[in-house]
Amino acid sequence: MQKNDKWDIDITPRRKWYELRLKEVYSYRDLIWLLVKRSFSAQYKQTVLGPLWFIINPLISSFISTLVFGNIAGIESDGVPYFLFYLCGYTLWNYFSTCVNQTSTTFTTNANIMGKVYFPRLTMPISSVIFSALNMIIIFFLSIIAMIVYRIQGFEIHTTAMIWIIPLLMLQTAVLGLGVGIIISSLTTKYRDLTILVGFGIQLWMYITPVVYPMTAVKGSLKTIILLNPMSAVIQNYKYALLGIGTFEPLYWLISVIMTGVLFLLGVLLFNNVEQTFMDTV
């Protein structure tokens, strides 16, 4: 080997646990898109309805919530038709919960691949987040269609000037879901019990987030506690921007953004630390 030889790939010794190397992840963006395509094919291969499930699932969930929480339980919806209220509530919440569920099993479900070839391990949870975004975007457009239909029927539904924050809320949901998911995936390499608790924990998390009820129905100190949940301000501000209901929460949104950044950074650092030795424990 000559001193002036240049290599396309430079394999270095184990890096320090606090090195992020996000530039390396970006260089593998083609792999990320291939993993997204793989997820799409794997999920809808040999299904009768195929991608139509993207539409059917949120419609069924919103219909059942309308029946149970709206008609039977009589929970308020701030004057918005129940179906539209729940459809909008599930837009970001389903995205968040899907991101957490899929990324939380990154190490355990992909151990065979990771043990054979090198690539930045963070590409796998990122691809899951991007794939899940397809469902969120479809639900969002279904919400727009539902809004138009209800307005034609005479319902007063007004978006606000804050509608421009919706892409920011979607991005924050992706980062938060990725952060929480990779924290859990890092811990499940040693503590498999967490895998069982994730689904149950997400369900409990939903009930302290204003998904199926409006924040106007929550009073006193309980309202403050709920808004300290990082997803609460996201859901509340989303409903305010799109449907014009409730109030805009700038302070709690700022707290939510800070918590999102901390959880994401903690998740990446923990993920990088675990990926160096996870094959010994998985």
Calculated CA dihedral for residues 229, 260, 128, 278, nearest 10 degrees: -100
Angle at 143 between CA 142 and CA 144, to 5 degrees: 90
- Burial class of residue 230 (count of CB atoms within 10 Å of its CB; 0-12, 13-18, 19+): buried
How far does Cα 247 stand from its chain's mean position?
23
User: For residue 55, what pLDDT is reported?
Assistant: 78
| Dihedral class, residue 5 (left if φ above 0, else alpha if ψ from -120 to 50, else beta) | beta
Residue of 192, 61, 204 whose CA lies nearest to 139? 61
- Burial class of residue 267 (count of CB atoms within 10 Å of its CB; 0-12, 13-18, 19+): buried
What DSSP string describes 122-190? THHHHHHHHHHHHHHHHHHHHHHHHHHHHHHTT------GGGGGHHHHHHHHHHHHHHHHHHHHHHHTT
- The CA distances from residue 144 to 100, 135, 141, in Å, are 26, 14, 5
- Residue 15 and residue 183: Cα distance in Å, rounded? 19
Residue of 254, 206, 209, 198 whose CA lies nearest to 232? 209
Cβ neighbors of 275 (< 8 A, separation 6 or more) are 107, 114, 121
Per-residue pLDDT of the chain (282 residues; tens, 9 = 90+): 455 566 666 555 555 555 666 777 778 888 888 888 877 777 666 565 656 767 778 888 888 888 888 788 778 888 888 999 999 989 999 999 988 988 887 777 766 776 677 777 788 888 889 988 988 898 899 899 999 999 888 888 888 889 999 999 999 999 999 999 888 888 877 766 677 788 888 888 998 999 988 888 888 888 888 989 999 999 999 999 999 888 898 999 999 999 999 999 998 888 877 766 655 455
Q: Hey, what amino acid is at 175?
A: V
For the chain, what is the total number of helices (H) and then of strands (E)? 12, 0
Q: Are 80 and 245 in contact (CB under 8 A)?
A: yes
Sign of torsion, CA 188 95 133 179? negative
Q: What is the DSSP letter of 278?
A: G
Cβ neighbors of 198 (< 8 A, separation 6 or more) are 100, 101, 104, 184
Q: pTM of the entire structure?
A: 0.86
Q: Are 33 and 54 in contact (CB under 8 A)?
A: no
Angle at 87 between CA 85 and CA 90, to 5 degrees: 105
Q: Are 260 and 175 in contact (CB under 8 A)?
A: yes
HSE, side-chain direction, 13 A CA sphere, residue 224: 2
